[in-house]
């Protein structure tokens, strides 16, 4: 679980600055990882989209919940100040 998103974002910014991967290098790494996943049976052309619709619905629901929490926090903070 991510405790502090800003620290994680800063870590990724520094990592990106230190790593100078070309597009070709990044693509080669991706292709090697993809081949390994296929050889292990984790993914295949048959099952690559399995569950995608469920994941999409969950992501949309989570997005809506985050907006609702922010609105509730703002409203509750106004009530406490009175």
**Residue-level pLDDT at 82:** 44
pTM of the model: 0.41
Domains of the chain, by residue range, sit at: 1-49, 51-82
In 3D space, the residue among 57, 29, 58, 51 whose CA is nearest the CA of residue 43 turns out to be: 51
- Where does the pLDDT of residue 71 fall: very low under 50, low under 70, confident under 90, or very high at 90 and above? low
- For 44, what's the count of Cα atoms within 13 Å in the CB-facing half-sphere? 5
pLDDT at 58 over 50: yes
Any idea which residue has 């990592």 for tokens? 15
Give the tens place of pLDDT for each residue, 1-39.
788 899 999 999 998 888 888 889 999 999 999 999 989
């Amino acid at each position: 679980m991510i405790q502090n998103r800003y620290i994680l974002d800063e870590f990724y910014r520094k990592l990106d600055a230190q790593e100078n991967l070309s597009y070709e290098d990044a693509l080669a790494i991706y292709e090697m990882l993809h081949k390994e996943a296929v050889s292990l049976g984790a993914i295949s052309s048959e099952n690559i989209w399995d569950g995608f619709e469920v994941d999409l619905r969950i992501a949309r629901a989570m997005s809506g919940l985050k907006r609702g929490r922010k609105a509730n926090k703002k409203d509750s903070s106004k009530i406490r100040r009175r």
